[in-house]
């Protein structure tokens, strides 16, 4: 029973991170072209875990993130 709860929790956390990455890609990345956004979306759909990790590690920092 505990294993099922842990697996369900891990899946839920992954889905939240994946959804946030897709929203970040679609709405908040004016520095990426349309084809770059489409490429990242395809990578994250075909290779969900690896694509999410790569996008998180390789995406450029937001230029206005530190100015709040």
The answer to whether residues 52 and 21 touch, using CB atoms and an 8 Å cutoff, is yes
Q: Is the pLDDT of residue 61 over 60?
A: yes
d(CA 36, CA 32): 6
CA 26 to chain centre: 10
Domain ranges of the chain: 2-58
Integer angstrom CA distances of residue 32 from 14, 37, 54: 24, 6, 15
Q: Which pTM value belongs to this model?
A: 0.70
pLDDT, tens digit, 9 for 90 and up, residues 7-51: 999 999 989 999 998 998 888 888 888 898 899 889 988 988 898
Q: Is the pLDDT of residue 66 over 70?
A: no
* DSSP 3-state of 29: coil
């Amino acid at each position: 029973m505990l294993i099922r709860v842990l697996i369900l929790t891990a899946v839920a956390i992954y889905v939240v991170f994946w959804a946030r990455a897709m929203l970040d890609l679609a709405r908040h990345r004016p520095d990426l072209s349309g084809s770059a956004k489409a490429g990242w979306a395809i990578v994250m759909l075909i290779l969900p875990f690896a694509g999410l990790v790569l996008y998180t590690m390789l995406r450029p920092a937001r230029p206005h993130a530190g100015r709040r």
